Amino acid sequence: MTKTIYILNGPNLNLLGKRQPEIYGHETLDDVEAQCRGVADEFGLACNLMQSNHEGQIIDWIHEARQAAAGIIINPAALTHTSVAVMDALNAFEGPVLEVHISNVHKREPFRHHSYVSLRAEGVIAGFGIEGYALAMRRMGGLLA
Closer CB to ligand CA2, 15 or 144, in the complex:
15
Taking the complex as a whole, how short is the minimal distance between the CB of residue 68 and ligand CA2, in angstroms?
Answer: 24
| Spatial distance between the Cα atoms of 17 and 11, rounded to a whole number of angstroms | 14
Q: In terms of CB distance, is 91 or 104 closer to ligand CA2? A: 104
- For residues 15 and 37, what is the distance between their CA atoms, to the nearest angstrom? 21
Closest separation in Å from C-beta 10 to ligand CA2: 7
C-beta of residue 102 within 8 angstroms of C-beta of residue 28: no
Which is nearer to ligand CA2, 70 or 83 (by Cβ)? 83
Separation between Cα atoms, residue 143 and residue 64, nearest integer Å: 21
Query: Which residues form the interface with ligand CA2 (CB under 6 A)?
Result: 12-13, 15-16, 19-20, 24, 75, 77-78, 80, 101-103, 105, 112
101 is catalytic: yes
Look at the alpha carbons of 121, 139, 48, 30 in this order and tell me if their dihedral is positive or negative: positive
Given the residues 6, 54, 63, 101, the one annotated as active site: 101
Catalytic-residue membership of 113: no
Angle 80-85-87 (CA atoms, 0-180°, nearest 5)?
55
Least separation in angstroms between residue 5's CB and ligand CA2 is: 18
Burial level of 134, CB count in 10 A (0-12/13-18/19+)?
buried
In the complex, minimum distance from the CB of residue 112 to ligand CA2, in angstroms, rounded to a whole number: 4
CB nearer to ligand CA2: pick between 16 and 70 = 16
- Residues that are catalytic: 24, 101
